[in-house]
Chain A
């Protein structure tokens, strides 16, 4: 493993700084100093599993590159997979409304859930579209975490996970109990195409999308990376398409390629060329 120097803005040094640099180098995601507690919470099990005493030993093993899978495991452990079914349900309902209002030019609508984690967002969308009836859009979902995608493709969730945001009637309609868990019906899971994609370094998905959701992802990037990702997402939107960000996220001050949608409050659209500064 080769570690590039820490970004100048990062104040941390020592083992935690090197681990944070590894995460940023691999995913573009920053581990803010006030979230350093996540290192303890997420890496302790890995230390135990690998027989390492502390972060210094972990960094030693990373730099020694004796086990190439170790860096992957560290990054996987540090990625935040927080999500839930119907998170900000009103936003998802507005996505479905906006999709229904888009002109039908003969093809299926294309929707991209970028940073889909363990799949609750695209599954929630698939449920809403299926319940609305009509043509099911082509829903593609990506995440940087292989572990999250394995879970998303399986569609298998714990009792705690299905009780976060998922109304009981939808649980009964779309999931089957398997042991202690609940598994989304294949009819639902099969409507979603999952793929690994690192927003910080990979090209965007091919083709243009009608709606891109990238919620609660940009907050982990630094300002430069946020602008780069937003510019890339704007290129993946078709004219008239919409970008949906998380509640605390905005394009304002980040890019001039996107602007608030005039028709759909809280969503973003490709900016008119005249408004661009570049």
Chain B
């Protein structure tokens, strides 16, 4: 079973994402900001991280940069999932090492498609 860490400061988004991901047979964990997510990855790296951009404590972009610098051997795939839909944001995310990018709002098919693209579904 693949594992996914859902990182979003919105409880509602985490709940929606969990519902979709569990329907796709993922084991789901949650984090409310980048700091929590980094701790979770260092403790037990998931296969894929679904990552919001704007969060308190540590943003998604800061998390991504920090994750890429860690010594975790099998780094998780990172799929940004954000309302920041401008080209500049997408380009910045790709340059920082994001594997895919979901523009909110999203539905089950969108999420499944993006997970397939990164080889996770």
* Contact status B109-A164, CB under 8 Å: yes
B62 at the interface (CB under 8 A from A): no
| Contacts known (A163-B103, A163-B106); A84 close to B90, Cβ less than 8 A | no
Task: Give the docked Cα–Cα distance between A164 and B100 (Å).
Answer: 12
Instruction: Tell me if B117 and A167 are in contact (CB < 8 A).
Output: yes
Size of A's binding interface in residues, CB under 8 A: 12
Instruction: Knowing A159-B103, A163-B103, say if A168 contacts B90 (CB, 8 Å).
Output: yes
User: In this assembly, does A172 line the interface, its C-beta being within 8 Å of a C-beta of chain B?
Assistant: yes
**Cβ 8 A contact of B113, one of A165, A171, A177:** A165
Q: Is B85 an interface residue (CB 8 A)?
A: yes
Residues of A near any B CB (own CB < 8 A): 84, 159-160, 163-165, 167-169, 171-172, 177
Known: A159-B103, A169-B94, A172-B94. Contact between A164 and B113, CB under 8 A?
yes
Closest 8 A/B residue pairs (Cβ): A168-B101, A163-B110, A164-B113, A167-B117, A165-B113, A159-B103, A168-B100, A164-B109
Closest-by-CB residue of B relative to A169 is: B94
Flag whether B87 is at the interface (Cβ < 8 A). yes
Cβ distance B90 to chain A, nearest Cβ, rounded Å = 6
Q: Are B110 and A164 in contact (CB under 8 A)?
A: yes
The verdict on B29 contacting chain A, using a C-beta distance below 8 Å, is no
Are A84 and B87 also in contact (CB < 8 A) when A163-B102, A163-B106, A167-B100 are? no
Residues of B within 8 A of A165 (CB): 113, 117
